[in-house]
Amino acid sequence: MQPASTANQTEAETAPTDLEGLIGRFREALAPESVITDPQRLRTYECDGLASYRVVPAVVVLPENADQVGEIVAACAEYGIAFVARGSGTGLSAGALPRSDGVLIVTSRMRRILEVDVANERAVVEPGVINLDVTKAAAPHGYYFAPDPSSQQVCSVGGNVAENSGGAHCLKYGFTSNHVLALEVVTPDGDTVELGGRARDVPGYDLMGAFVGSEGTLGVVTKIVVRLLRAPESVQTLLAGFPSTDEAGGAVSKIIAEGITPAAIEMMDALSIEAAEQAVRCGYPEGAGAVLVVELDGPAPEVEHTFAEVQRHCRDHGAFEVRVAADDAERAMIWKGRKSAFAAVGRISPDYIVQDGVIPRTALPEVLTRISALSAESGVRVANVFHAGDGNLHPLVLFDGSEPGAVERAEEVSGSILDVCLAHGGSITGEHGVGADKVKYMGRMFTEQDLDTMQRVRCAFDPDNRCNPGKVFPTPRLCGEAPGQRRGVHPLTEAGLADQF
C-alpha cells in the first residue's frame, strides 16, 4: 500500500511544459468536456476498486470513439508521456491506478454496442460497454455473454479484457479470453491493429491471447468482438448446508471426480455466511459451517439427470440440508447471498482485504487448514468465499484499521495466504490481476527468465515503458538491454511435476 498522493495540489506548479503542450493537443482533438484538468474533478479518478492505492492523474481524457483513442495515444507517444487506460474502475488490484505525471484514458463514453450478429453468435462492442449490457442486448435472441464477474452490473468489457476477468461460471465456461474473438487495439505508439478475428485458428501469432489479461500494458482496446453463447435450455441451482468446509470440500471433489462440470460450484464458510445473512437476509441454512451453491445448466434431460446425482453426492458427503431453487426468484436469492459476500463483510468488520489466489483443486482441504492456522496464530479473522470448482480462493481478511498495527497484521496474513497458494503449486491471482498490488509477488511465482520472456514482449510493444508503467512487472529491465546469454534452469523437472502445476 502507499499513502494517498497529494500530487494534485502541486500539479499546476510542477507540470512540465510538455504536459501542457499535450493537454493543448487533447483540447484540439476532443470535445471540451472530454479533457479534465480541474484538481477536484481529477480526484474522482484517483483509485480503482482497491482504494488503498490513490494517485491523482495529471489529466483525464474521455474519448468518444476509437479514432480519438488513437489520437490520444499517438499524442502521448509524441510527447513521451505515460498513460493508463481505465474502464469502470472496479478492478481490485490497482491495475487502473493513475500516474501523477501521466494521462488517464477513461473509456466510459465508449458505450456503444456496435453490432449483435446472432447468426454468427457474436457481438461487437466498445470497451466502455457494461458487461451485463451485452447480455441484455443478446437476451431477446436467446443468447448471453458468459463472463460474469461479481461486478458485472458496473464493470466494463474493456476492463474484463484487460484483466481476463472470470466469475462464478468460469468453471464451465472459461475466462474472458475464451469469449473474445477479435480485438481492435491502439498500440503504445498510436497504431491501430486488429488481433484475432475472422475465423477460428487464425494464422500468424495469437497475440489476442497475449493481449487479453495484459492489464493495460500492451495498448488500449477500442473494439471487442465477443462470442455470444446460446442461453441454456435448463438451469438448476441448489444450496447445500454442511457442518464444515471439510465435508463441503469432499462433496466438491466427488462431483468433479465423477466427471460432472457444473456451471458453478461456490463455497462459503461460516464467517462469510454470517456476513451475507446480516447484509441481505438470504436465508442460508442455520448453523452451517459451510454452504455450497451448485448450478447446472444445459439441455434439460442432462441437467435433470446430473442434478439428481449432485444432490446425492452432497448428502453422501454430509450435507444436512439441500435446498433446490424452485424458480428464478429462489435462484436469485441463493445467488444474492454469494454475490453480496464481499460487500457484506463490511457488516461484520470495519475493514477487510479481498485476497485472490488459486490452488489445485485437490489441495483444498490442506490449504483451508493452513489458512485456519494462520488466522488462529495471528488473531486475524479470515472469511472464505471461493470458486471451489477451479480452486480460486477469495479469503477476506478482516481488520479494524483504527487499531494500531491491525493493517500490518492483516496484510501479513493476506500475503502469507498467497505463499500457501504458491507452496501448493498455485497462483498469486485467479481473476483480480496483478496490477500495482501484487507486483511484489511476481518474483515468487516466476523465475527471472520467465519474467524476462514477458518483458521481451512488453519491450516489443512499449519500449519506452509508457503504457500503464509500474503494473504487473517488478523492476522492469531497460528495454535496450539484451536478454543475456545465461542458460536457463529447467522449471519442468521430470520429477515432482504435480507439485509444480
- Residue 453 CB, shortest distance to a copy of itself, in Å, is 5
Residue 275's H or E segment, with its range, is helix 270-280
Cell 483480480: give the residue.
432
Site for a copy of itself in 452-491 (CB under 8 A): 452-454, 456-461, 472-473, 483, 485-491
Q: Which is nearer to a copy of itself, 203 or 404 (CB)?
A: 203
Site for a copy of itself in 3-62 (CB under 8 A): none
Q: Which stretch binds a copy of itself (CB under 8 A): 46-54, 281-289, 329-337, 447-455?
A: 447-455
Q: Does 359 bind a copy of itself (CB under 8 A)?
A: yes
Cell of 262: 457444473
Q: Which is nearer to a copy of itself, 207 or 275 (CB)?
A: 207
Cell of 105: 484514458
Q: Does 206 bind a copy of itself (CB under 8 A)?
A: yes
With CB under 8 A as the contact rule, the residue among 154, 450, 465, 477 that binds a copy of itself is: 450
With CB under 8 A as the contact rule, the residue among 108, 311, 372, 427 that binds a copy of itself is: 427
Site for a copy of itself in 100-159 (CB under 8 A): 114-115, 117, 119-120, 122, 124
What gap in Å lies between CA 13 and CA 416, rounded to an integer?
A: 42
- Residue 316 CB, shortest distance to a copy of itself, in Å, is 20
- Residue 373 CB, shortest distance to a copy of itself, in Å, is 23
With CB under 8 A as the contact rule, the residue among 21, 39, 190, 289 that binds a copy of itself is: 190
Q: Which is nearer to a copy of itself, 175 or 399 (CB)?
A: 175
The DSSP secondary structure of 381-417, one letter per residue, reads: -EEEEEEGGGTEEEEEEEE-TTSTTHHHHHHHHHHHH
Residue 108 and residue 88 in contact, taking contact as beta carbons nearer than 8 Å: yes
Q: Which stretch binds a copy of itself (CB under 8 A): 4-12, 16-24, 357-365, 399-407?
A: 357-365
> Side chain identity at 65, as an amino acid letter?
N
Give percent helix, percent strand, percent coil of the chain, each to the nearest 5. 40, 20, 40
- Residue 163 CB, shortest distance to a copy of itself, in Å, is 9
What gap in Å lies between CA 163 and CA 352, rounded to an integer?
A: 22
Q: Which stretch binds a copy of itself (CB under 8 A): 24-32, 153-161, 411-419, 434-442?
A: 434-442
Beta-bridge partner residues of 116: 123
Site for a copy of itself in 211-270 (CB under 8 A): 212-214, 218, 223, 225, 230, 233, 259
Q: Which is nearer to a copy of itself, 205 or 402 (CB)?
A: 205
Residue 472 and residue 434 in contact, taking contact as beta carbons nearer than 8 Å: yes
Q: What's the length of the chain?
A: 501
With CB under 8 A as the contact rule, the residue among 27, 141, 154, 209 that binds a copy of itself is: 209
Q: Which stretch binds a copy of itself (CB under 8 A): 146-154, 195-203, 341-349, 373-381?
A: 195-203
Measured torsion, CA atoms of residues 459, 462, 466, 468, in degrees rounded to the nearest 10: -90
The DSSP secondary structure of 351-371, one letter per residue, reads: EEEE--EE--GGGHHHHHHHH
- Residue 325 CB, shortest distance to a copy of itself, in Å, is 21
> How many Å separate Cα 101 from the centre of its chain?
26
User: Within 10 Å of residue 313's Cβ, how many Cβ atoms?
Assistant: 22
What gap in Å lies between CA 311 and CA 287, rounded to an integer?
A: 20
With CB under 8 A as the contact rule, the residue among 17, 40, 140, 205 that binds a copy of itself is: 205
What gap in Å lies between CA 264 and CA 388, rounded to an integer?
A: 8
Q: Which stretch binds a copy of itself (CB under 8 A): 83-91, 235-243, 320-328, 449-457?
A: 449-457
- Residue 44 CB, shortest distance to a copy of itself, in Å, is 28
Residue 111 and residue 131 in contact, taking contact as beta carbons nearer than 8 Å: no
What gap in Å lies between CA 250 and CA 245, rounded to an integer?
A: 8
Cell of 314: 452432497
Q: How big is the site for a copy of itself, counted in residues (CB under 8 A)?
A: 108
Site for a copy of itself in 383-402 (CB under 8 A): 390-392
With CB under 8 A as the contact rule, the residue among 244, 372, 449, 465 that binds a copy of itself is: 449
